[in-house]
Amino acid sequence: MDKSNHLFSELFAQLGLASDEPAIRQFIATHTPLAADLDLADAPFWTESQAAFLREEILEDADWAELADQLNLALREVVPR
């Protein structure tokens, strides 16, 4: 399986979100912690197309799956406010 090397910021851009470091930090801080029993793609803050993209990438262990996993972990950590 040929997997491209993408940056975390590129995942945010792929999702149609602001992809600069401050925006990524803010997104994670705003949506953390994600409930342990909730799959990443089922989080209420995604649009239908964002959720479908994440679900497909993770299910197929596709090109963006590794970064989706990283985002999943980042959203599970408790961020000091």
* pLDDT for 1: 43
Q: For helices 48-59 and 65-76, give the axis angle rounded to 10 degrees.
A: 110
Domains and CATH numbers, the chain: 8-76 (1.10.10.1130)
Q: What is the pLDDT of residues 22-54, one digit of tens each?
A: 999 999 999 999 998 999 999 999 999 999 999
Whether omega for the bond prior to residue 33 falls within 30 degrees of 0, making it cis, is yes
Mean pLDDT, the chain, whole residue set: 91
Return the percentage of the chain with pLDDT > 90, whole number: 81
CA distance 20 to 81: 20
- What is the distance between the alpha carbons of residues 81 and 79, in angstroms, rounded to a whole number? 6
